Structure 1
Amino acid sequence: MDPSKMRLMGLMTILLFLGIASELGSCKVVQFIFGDSLSDVGNNKYLPRSLATANLPWYGIDFGNGLPNGRFTNGRTVADIIGDKTGLPRPPAFLDPSLDEDMILNNGVNYASGGAGILNETGSLFIQRLPFSKQIELFQGTQDLIKNKIGTVEAKNFFEESRYVIAIGSNDFINNYLMPTYRDSWTYNDNSFISYLMTTLEQQLKQLHSLGARKLIVFGLAPMGCIPLQRVLSLTGKCQTRTNKLAVSFNTAAQKLIENLSENLPNASYRFGNAYDVVEDVINNPHKYGFNNSDSPCCSFGRIRPALTCIPASTLCPDRSKYVFWDEYHPSDTANEMMATEIITRLGFLPTNKTSPPSEAPTAAPHSAPAPATATATVPAPAPH
């Protein structure tokens, strides 16, 4: 062969290789998020009969344009913040009508639903919600869409390289086991109920693994007995000890489960993010962390408690960055950032994609409260934790 042609072919081969390498190197890692209202970014607002929604002011006041966006807080969720700090894009809600294959490939998907639990029966009082098993079913449908878009082999690589976040379990206690209207409350005792949860969770995580989930983190529960609602219901204003003990027992069992699955499932890197102790310390010693209130919600309906949800007629605390809790159930943006930072530090997360935080991130210090709303108040519906 002519030497000049050989050199040309060699050059073309190198260029082709570089192009392929560049293409492979530019693949974007995304995340798929499962959970309850602590991670919901708007799925429930598309469920017309759901009583677990965050569609009214003042939800979202410190996020983007300040309008309600489906998040059950004034700003970002813990998953939002962890993603921002590690270079992962914020996944849109699965039920967002604009969701398509390109959005999934570039941003992942969030399936979290307010009121959801590990158990299908959890949160039934909210009428409509997406239990964890349903979220996994929807994820399986998402996989079919991506396979049709980019092919089976590429889809397999895409899902195995993605990150998976699961933050669920609070409702299985708050809106199931600890409520006498639910059958589980008299069918099980504390130990057998947690065993029931672990057996169910194990099956669900194994199913996710069979669908390609290789890099996964499960968030532990915070001191549930110290959320404002539990304090009000205790009559003494103190944290409910039994509820907190259940959270500790859940975390102990879940961590053991996650470690076992990580050791025994092929190529699994499963982690457990437990920030119970630091959240407990924040609640007991708020001033140590820059807060001045850790026992009542920033958004409240005067002296009428529990109001359960934040509504347009609610009044806001003078400085939202100084309150641990936004409403009767959910942490504030500032508290979520503290928890996210703690989990990142403990698990040693490193940046994933070379991206900047979204431009719609909330302002750093939401200090002043707006004037009271003039909108007509609606009867507050039960809100999930």
Structure 2
Amino acid sequence: MTLRSAGALFLIALVFGVAIDWSHCKVVQFIFGDSLSDVGNNQYLSKSLAKANLPWYGIDFGSGVPNGRFCNGRTVADIIGDTMGLPRPPALLDPSLNEDTILENGVNFASGGGGILNETATYFIQRFSLYRQIELFIGTQELIREKLGAKAADKFFQESLYVVALGSNDFINNFLMPVSGDSWTYSDDSFVTYLVQTLQAQITLLHSLGARQLLVFGLGPMGCIPLQRVLSTNGECRDRANKLALSFNQVASQMVDDLTSSLPNASFRFGDAYNVVDDLIKNPSKYGFTNSDSPCCSFGRIRPALTCIPASRLCKDRSKYVFWDEYHPSDSANQLIANEMIRKMGFSRPNLSPAPSMAPAPES
């Protein structure tokens, strides 16, 4: 079985409170997520409408050319992983990926438009939902077992680190859309329950596949992203969307705690940066920003221009804008979010390698 056939089928290091002998192995990450964590998978999905393959994406990352990240620079996972001295996991669909690369760097399964629910963002045509990403992880495991043998492979996967960072698309590109079937089926509270119950089943499945150290990212104030503001009647944050994010975080955090208590050897954590992002948006000057309500990359007065394109105009100082495009934070905002996660969660460096420079070019 080849890696490409597995591709045809989406953690950051922290103190989990478990004793691990790091001396015999290199710790790697397996990242499951959406466009906030995608490092190029969607670029290889030929029919996907959710891609970051045009300038000016990646302008502040390495060589400055698009690399699949939905940002001008780094993702939050990039920054925290760099700080921890962890290798950056390449995209699963990267043609250069092989078994040795997986053992050395882990894998990123994240996919722009991906959701916890299979029905989320179907109009993007191609994207990996979380269940699909887990299927791809199972294919990856088969490759490593063939190379190492079952016992060594199980040890490798149990000592690896896992990130699960999805959920906003399930609201913005599903439940909050009037044409969505889920919007007619569920109330706000019952949809959050449905979503978290689905996520619980997925995390439990990952545990059965060897995930013992896992971090679930919470949602930020998604009602304040530029797209939601421009779709509102007054240009302000959409309160309902923000309340849904807070509700999700509360229910999901309790679910993660419950799983840690009930699953054998599980050390799961919930990372919540909602408050600091909310404060950043309300008080940007407090953090050195000048704009927190519109995208740095926009098509003049024509909004929403859902993606950044070569004809778009860039703001004068990208470091002063909280948002890069209509959906996604800028590199500078991601740095602030990552710093908050590091502060709150207590990350450590499991590997002895030095942290990369601020924005190294992706490996060719």
TM-score range for the pair, normalised by the shorter chain length: over 0.9
Aligned mates of 2:169, 2:92 — CA distance in 1: 21
Residues 41 and 110 in structure 2, CA contact (< 8 A), matched pair in contact too = yes
How far has the Cα of 1:182 moved from its partner? 1.2
Q: For residues 331 and 117 of structure 1, what CA distance do their matches in structure 2 show?
A: 18
CA distance in 2, matches of 1:288, 1:344: 20
What does 1:147-186 align with in structure 2 at a 5 Å threshold? 147-186=145-184
1:357 Cα deviation (Å)? 2.8
Rounded to whole Å, the distance in 2 between the matches of 1:41 and 1:163 is 17
3-state DSSP of counterpart to 2:155? helix
Q: CA RMSD in A?
A: 1.3
> Using the alignment, how far apart are the partners of 1:172 and 1:216 within structure 2?
21
Residues 293, 323 of structure 1: 8 Å contact kept? yes
* Deviation readout 1:268-322 (Å, 9 max, x if unpaired): 0000000000100000000000100000000010010100100000010010000
Kept in 2: contact 1:176–1:184 (CA 8 A): yes
In structure 2, the residue matched to 1:131 is 129
Which residue in the other structure is 1:330 paired with? 328
Q: What residue identity is the alignment partner of 1:124?
A: T
Q: Distance in 1 between matches of 2:341 and 2:150?
A: 34
5 Å-filtered alignment, 1:103-252, equals 103-252=101-250
Distance 1:24 1:197, change over 3 A: closer
Q: CA deviation at 1:199?
A: 1.2
8 Å CA contact 2:35–2:69 kept in 1: the answer is yes
Tell me if the contact between 1:75 and 1:362 (Cα under 8 Å) persists in the aligned partners.
no
Alignment length (residue pairs): 341
Residue 71 of structure 2 aligns with an amino acid whose one-letter code is: T
Q: What amino acid is aligned across from residue 116 of structure 1 in structure 2? A: G
The amino acid of 2:147's aligned partner reads K
Contact 1:62 / 1:362 at 8 angstroms: preserved in 2? Answer: no
State the shift of 1:332 in Å: 0.2
- Choose from 237, 261, 264 the match for 2:259: 261
Deviation at 1:181, TM superposition (A): 1.4
Partner of 1:370: none
Question: In the alignment, residue 330 of structure 1 is paired with which amino acid?
Answer: H
Amino acid at match of 2:263: L
Stretch deviating more after TM superposition (63-72 or 345-354): 345-354
Letter paired with 1:53: K
Q: TM-score, normalised by structure 1?
A: 0.87
Given that residues 227 and 326 in structure 2 are in contact (C-alpha distance below 8 angstroms), is that contact kept between their aligned partners in structure 1?
Answer: yes
User: Is the 2:22–2:350 Cα contact (8 Å) retained in structure 1?
Assistant: no
Contact kept in structure 1, 2:80 and 2:338, CA below 8 Å: yes
Contact 2:85/2:356 (<8 A) preserved: no
**Aligned partners of 1:311 and 1:272: how far apart in 2?**
35
What runs of 5+ residues in structure 1 fail to find an aligned partner?
1-22, 364-385
The verdict on how the C-alpha distance between 1:206 and 1:24 changes in structure 2, with shifts beyond 3 A counting, is: closer
| CA deviation string 1:209-236 (max 9, x = no partner) | 0000000000000000000000000020
* Alignment-derived partner of residue 355 in structure 1: 353
Is the 1:326–1:332 Cα contact (8 Å) retained in structure 2?
A: yes
Q: Give 3-state SS (helix, strand or coil) of 1:32's partner.
A: strand
Amino acid at match of 1:240: R
3-state secondary structure, aligned to 2:164: strand
Q: Secondary structure at the match of 2:162?
A: strand
Say if 1:117 and 1:169, in contact at 8 Å, map to a contact too: yes
Identify unmatched segments of 5+ residues in structure 2.
1-20
Matching of residue 79 in structure 1 with residue 77 in structure 2: yes
Q: CA deviation at 1:202?
A: 0.8
Distance 2:210 2:342 in 1: 23
Does the Cα contact within 8 Å between 2:22 and 2:351 map onto a contact in 1? no
What secondary structure sits across from 1:176 in the alignment? Answer: helix
1:313 to 290, 311, 314: 311
- Given that 2:289 and 2:321 are in contact with CA atoms closer than 8 Å, whether structure 1 keeps it comes out as yes
Q: State TM-score, norm by structure 2.
A: 0.92
Deviation at 1:26, TM superposition (A): 4.2
Match of 1:29 in 2: 27
Aligned to 1:376: none
- 1:64 touches 1:360 (CA, 8 Å); kept in 2? no
Using the alignment, how far apart are the partners of 1:147 and 1:358 within structure 2?
A: 30
Distance 2:145 2:22 in 1: 18
SS of 1:346's equivalent? helix
1:295 partner amino acid: D
The Cα of 1:24 is off from its aligned counterpart by: 7.6
Query: What secondary structure, in the 3-state scheme, does the structure 1 residue paired with 2:156 have?
Result: helix
From 59, 64, 86, the equivalent of 1:61 is: 59
Contact 1:165–1:217 (8 Å) recurs in 2: yes
Q: Please give the alpha-carbon distance, in whole angstroms, between the structure 2 residues aligned to 1:316 and 1:242.
A: 30
Structure having the higher Rg: 1
